[in-house]
Amino acid sequence: MSVRPPRQVPCPQCGRLSPFTPENPWRPFCCERCRMIDLGHWANESYRVPAIEDEPASE
């Protein structure tokens, strides 16, 4: 039986490939720095989900 190489995924912050395994404590990020940058974006509300406003109901 052959051993599979660990799955590599691009870091959401910098794009560098990183192992997506339990041994990588920052997965899916490549390092703690990229993880903290992403957390900072969430804390500053830089990431937003667009909302669709409903038209007011006609009475």
What is the pLDDT, as a whole number, of residue 49? 81
Domain boundaries, the chain: 8-43
Pick among 3.30.50.10, 1.10.10.10, 3.40.50.620, 1.10.3090.10: CATH of 8-43: 3.30.50.10
CA–CA distance, 28 with 22 (Å, rounded to integer): 10
Residue 56: DSSP 8-state: P
Start-to-end Cα distance in the chain? 70
What does each of the 59 residues of the chain score in pLDDT, given as a tens digit?
778 888 999 999 999 999 999 999 999 999 999 999 999 999 998 888 888 887 776 66
